[in-house]
Chains A and B, each alone.
Chain A
Amino acid sequence: MSSQTLQKVDHAALKANQLFIISLNILAFIFDQPWLAAFVALVMGLGSAFKVPGFLPIYKNILKPRGWMKPDILDDNPEPHRFAQFLGFIFMTAGSTALFLGSAVLGWTLVWIVVALASLNAFGGFCVGCAVYYWLARLNLPGFGKQPPSGTFPGMKPKAGSV
Chain B
Amino acid sequence: MSNEILLRSIFALAIIGAGLFAYWLVNQRLLVKARSNVFTLFSKLPNKPVIVYFTTPDCAPCKTVQRPAINRVSQLLGEKLEIVEIDATQRPDLAKIWGVMSVPTTFLLDARGEARFVNNGVTRAEKLMEQLDTFSDFVI
> Hey, which bits of chain A sit against chain B, CB under 8 A?
26, 29-32, 70-75, 112, 115-116, 119, 123-126, 151, 153, 156-157, 159-163
Contact = CB atoms under 8 A, between A and B. Distances in A.
B44 interface: no
Count class of interface residues, chain B = 20 to 34
B57 A31 contact: no
Interface of B: 4-5, 8-9, 11-12, 15-16, 19, 23, 26, 56-61, 64, 87-89, 92, 95-96, 100-103, 120-121
- What 3 A-B pairs come out closest when comparing CB atoms? A161-B89, A160-B58, A125-B102
Main SS at interface, chain B:
helix
Contacts of A161: 56-58, 87-89
B29 to A, nearest CB: 13
B92 A151 contact: yes
A126 B23 CA distance: 13
A153 B121 CA distance: 17
Contact of B103 (A116, A126, A151, A159): A159
Given A31-B5, A123-B23, A162-B92, A156 B101 contact: yes
Given A32-B8, A112-B15, A163 B61 contact: no
Contacts of A73: 60
A35 to B, nearest CB: 16
Contacts, number: 76
Given A124-B120, A125-B102, A29 B56 contact: no
B100 A163 contact: yes
Contacts of B56: 159-163
A70 B64 contact: yes
Contact of B88 (A31, A153, A163): A163
Given A125-B102, A157-B102, A163 B8 contact: no
A133 B120 CA distance: 25
A70 B59 CA distance: 13
Given A30-B9, A30-B12, A162-B88, 13 more contacts: A29-B8, A29-B12, A70-B60, A72-B60, A74-B58, A115-B15, A123-B121, A153-B101, A159-B59, A159-B102, A159-B103, A160-B89, A162-B89
A72 B59 CA distance: 8
A163 B12 contact: no
26 contacts: A29-B8, A29-B12, A30-B8, A30-B9, A30-B12, A31-B5, A72-B60, A72-B61, A75-B58, A115-B15, A119-B19, A123-B23, A123-B121, A124-B23, A124-B26, A124-B102, A124-B120, A125-B120, A125-B121, A156-B102, A159-B58, A160-B57, A161-B87, A162-B92, A163-B95, A163-B100
